[in-house]
Structure formats: C-alpha cells, structure tokens
Amino acid sequence: MAFNIKLLLAICSVALFFTLVSADLSKEDIDGFVEEHNKARAQVGNRPLKWNATLAKYAQDYADKRVDDCAMEHSMGPYGENLASGEGMSGAAAAKYWVTEKEFYDYDLNKCVRDECGHYLGVIWGKTTEVGCGISKCKNGLNYVICNYDPAYNEEDHPY
C-alpha cells in the first residue's frame, strides 16, 4: 500500500508541475522569452533572468482573461508586467519589441527621455531575477502576450 501512495504522490506532483507550467507555451516559446530578455540584460551587464512557473501561470491566467477583448490593460497584480499584442506574435518577438524602447532611455541622465521606455526598463532592471510569461489567441485573431517580473521594476530605484 505504501508503494501505491508514493506512486500516487509522484503522479500528482508531476501533474501539478505541468499545470503550473503553462500547457499553452512550447519550450521554444519559453526559450524565446528568456533568451531575448537575457540578451538585453547582458548588454547592460545584468545577470540573466530565470523562468518562474508561478509567474508564468499568473501571466497565462491573465492572458486567457483577455481573449474576448485583447485589451492592453495591466492586471494590476503584485508583479512587474509588460504587455504586447500582434498577429502571430511570439514570446521572442514581444521581448524584442519591448527592447526597442531602449532608444528612449538616456544612460547618462539615468532616465527616460520620453515616457516610452518603461517596457525596456522592465526587461533590464537589475533587481529583477525571475520572469514568467503567457500567450493567448484573442477572438480578433491577435496574440496577447504578457510577461510578469519579480521583483518588479521600481521607478524610484536605480532602473538597471
């Protein structure tokens, strides 16, 4: 009987793990998210982010809630967050898109020269250690992409 209980616990643990790691994301999607974030972070000398299944589940749950309207509205949750949408948009494409805001960041002044670099700062912020993302296909045909970061970017702190 003890063997069956151990086997059952092992099966439940594996099932829970795969529930937390979104079934909607392929390994290629996850790798794309992480690799593009870490390329940008390496350019400013920050350590790489690690994938976090809890953040990914939070992100996927929120992406799934936006399927009807694909609205670019933040979840207002406890994590840092970047959003994007586009036809066939992948995780790697979304991260690359956020990094395009780099041009609006002035390293000498240590601030955004326009109010359009918050997504970039979310990607590169040095205190952030983990990322988790989700993708859903909206009813309008666009992919809704979200990444959550922990700890979140804090404007009052040094951004990178």
pLDDT digits (tens, 9 = 90+) for 67-125: 999 999 999 999 999 999 999 999 999 999 999 999 999 888 888 888 789 999 999 99
Looking at residue 158, its pLDDT comes to 52
Report helix angle 91-99 to 27-43, nearest 10. Answer: 20
- How many C-beta atoms surround the C-beta of residue 144 within 10 A? 26
The CATH architecture to which 27-150 belongs is: 3-Layer(aba) Sandwich (3.40)
Question: pTM above 0.85?
Answer: no
CA end-to-end distance (rounded Å), the chain? 54
Section 45-71 average pLDDT: 97
Question: Residue 123: which H helix or E strand, with range?
Answer: helix 118-124
* Residue boundaries of the structural domains of the chain: 27-150
